[in-house]
């Protein structure tokens, strides 16, 4: 489904009142969940005594309480009560091979038996992993590993400023680039500004320039207004929130043109898309070469700690050292960065992806799921629809992100639609399907049976609507 069709269908869906699930039906769903998950409930009570809010995982379902997991295998998770779920959350997209992939685990176990997880000195696996990334990603010559996607985004922000000598970073509204102070503004919902920025002094965001996606006039104005001081443009390559706000055709080419004209760097945040769209990442998928690539999540196949900043050699060489390029240095450090466990996991994950064709398989299964959902939505006479970028799945039933939160009544409408999405997700969970709010991910381990389970679960949601 192309950008034009997605936008047309989103606007049509947004023009309609969101369909809610009546409270009495949701009460029955919650009662069923409580009956099936007594051990998770007990663990949550213990967690609340020693863990902030009782839950640390932003993607975890929390209504009526979180699930505690006992086992992961392939496309399925089993909770501590023995309930089995088809998982379309996949740790935010980290898991491309499926949970607990045996060949990857065997290879990592061999490394750990010989070296242990950490020795704090140089290791061949960091070279092997970096070589593999550079082999497949067109815009990558050198790599610097970090300990998370957020840390990699933060390091990239420091890097572009050190390399260019400029201060401003252009960020597209609604995009997520981790939780570092300068990026916690206008996340998830376009126009939300510092809504989630409690504890962050406003001056930490003063050099972050916000622009709406797909608005080339506003982008050019941002460059003109800060003509000599824009260090870089950061972007999620499929659009904000993994494509929940998709990008128009040729948008990357236009941004690249602006960056070249104003001597700014183009930064692809491929924390989600790297190795999920293709082994060459979104840059190969869209045939565009950024100056810097940010990696995370998926590159270690689900193993921690996973993050990297990669790109042209002269830029990446600005990291560390006493002098850097032209006397400029972006200081970075980290005891766990490039540790043996992580870099071996990165290398062997890429080997497994090469050998198994997992990326293409996951994409084919996602195509089947999208086709099945769209056929069901049409048969039920709804305007709901699904689309995908390879194995990144989007299911639109509320069009919550189609609203600008700064428009009259926008905040209330977004919250109303988000509340409905949370109810839909709870019904899916009760039907044995785990999904994010309006999106999800598919692994190479997902099967036709898993596709059928998801379609049936979404049909159950429709059955419960008011």
- Cβ atoms 64, 30 nearer than 8 A: yes
Bridge partners, 310 (sequence order): 143, 293
The Cα 439–Cα 251 span in angstroms is: 22
- Cβ atoms 236, 176 nearer than 8 A: yes
Answer whether the bond into residue 305 is a cis peptide, omega within 30°: yes
Q: What is the pLDDT of residues 360-387, one digit of tens each?
A: 999 999 999 999 999 999 999 999 999 9
The reported pTM is 0.94
Residue 63 confidence class, pLDDT cut points 50, 70, 90:
very high
The Cα 436–Cα 465 span in angstroms is: 19
Using alpha carbons, select from 35, 45, 38 the residue that is nearest to residue 80: 38
Bridge partners, 84 (sequence order): 78
Q: The tokens of 358 are what?
A: 């997992």
Q: What is the pLDDT of residues 80-104, one digit of tens each?
A: 999 999 999 999 999 999 999 999 9
Average pLDDT for 41-59:
94
**Residue-range domains of the chain with CATH:** 3-100+357-464 (3.90.1150.10), 102-355 (3.40.640.10)
The b/e string for 87-118 (b: 16+ C-beta within 10 A; e otherwise) is bbbbebbbbbbbbebeebeebbeebeeebeee
The Cα 465–Cα 424 span in angstroms is: 9
- Cβ atoms 189, 414 nearer than 8 A: yes
Q: The tokens of 441 are what?
A: 């991910």
| pLDDT of residue 19 exceeding 80 | yes
Average pLDDT for 315-319:
95
| pLDDT of residue 121 exceeding 60 | yes
């Amino acid at each position: 489904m192309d950008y034009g069709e997605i936008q047309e269908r989103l606007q049509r869906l947004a023009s309609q009142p969101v369909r809610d699930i009546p409270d009495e039906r949701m009460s029955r769903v919650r009662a069923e969940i409580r009956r099936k998950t007594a051990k998770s409930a007990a663990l949550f009570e213990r967690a609340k005594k020693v863990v902030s809010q009782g839950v640390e995982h932003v993607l975890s379902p929390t209504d009526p309480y979180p699930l505690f997991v006992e086992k992961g295998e392939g496309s399925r998770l089993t909770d501590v009560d023995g309930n089995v779920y088809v998982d379309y959350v996949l740790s935010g997209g980290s898991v491309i091979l499926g949970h607990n992939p045996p060949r990857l685990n065997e290879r990592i176990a061999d490394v750990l038996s010989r070296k242990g997880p950490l020795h704090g000195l140089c290791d061949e696996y960091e070279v092997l992993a970096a070589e593999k990334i550079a082999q497949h990603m067109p815009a990558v010559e050198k790599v610097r590993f970090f300990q998370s996607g957020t840390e990699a985004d933060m390091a990239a922000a420091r890097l572009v400023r050190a390399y260019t000598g400029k201060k401003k970073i252009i960020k597209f509204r609604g995009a997520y680039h981790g939780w570092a102070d300068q990026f916690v503004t206008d996340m998830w919902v376009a126009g939300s500004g510092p809504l989630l920025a409690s504890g962050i002094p406003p001056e930490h965001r003063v050099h972050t320039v916000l622009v709406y996606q797909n608005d080339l006039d506003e982008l050019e104005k941002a460059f003109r207004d800060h003509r000599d001081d824009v260090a870089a443009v950061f972007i999620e390559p499929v659009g904000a929130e993994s494509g929940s706000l998709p990008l128009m055709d040729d948008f990357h080419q236009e941004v690249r043109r602006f960056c070249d004209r104003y001597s700014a760097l183009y930064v692809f945040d491929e924390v989600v898309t790297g190795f999920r769209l293709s082994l060459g990442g979104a840059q190969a998928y869209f045939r565009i070469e950024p100056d810097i690539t940010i990696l995370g999540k998926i590159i270690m196949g689900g193993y921690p700690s996973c993050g990297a900043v990669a790109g042209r050699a002269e830029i990446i060489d600005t990291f560390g050292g006493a002098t850097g390029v032209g006397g400029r240095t972006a200081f970075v450090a980290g005891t766990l960065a490039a540790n043996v466990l992580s870099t071996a996991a990165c290398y062997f994950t890429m080997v497994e992806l090469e050998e198994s064709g997992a990326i293409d398989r996951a994409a084919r299964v996602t195509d089947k799921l999208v086709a099945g959902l769209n056929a069901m939505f049409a048969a039920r006479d709804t305007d709901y629809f699904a689309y995908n970028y390879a194995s990144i799945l989007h299911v639109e039933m509320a069009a919550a992100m189609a609203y600008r939160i700064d428009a009259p009544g926008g905040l209330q409408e977004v919250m109303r639609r988000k509340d409905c999405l949370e109810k839909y997700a709870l019904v899916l969970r009760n039907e044995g399907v785990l999904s994010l709010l309006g999106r999800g991910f598919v692994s190479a381990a997902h099967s036709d049976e898993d596709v059928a389970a998801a379609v049936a679960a979404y049909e159950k949601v429709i059955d419960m609507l008011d």
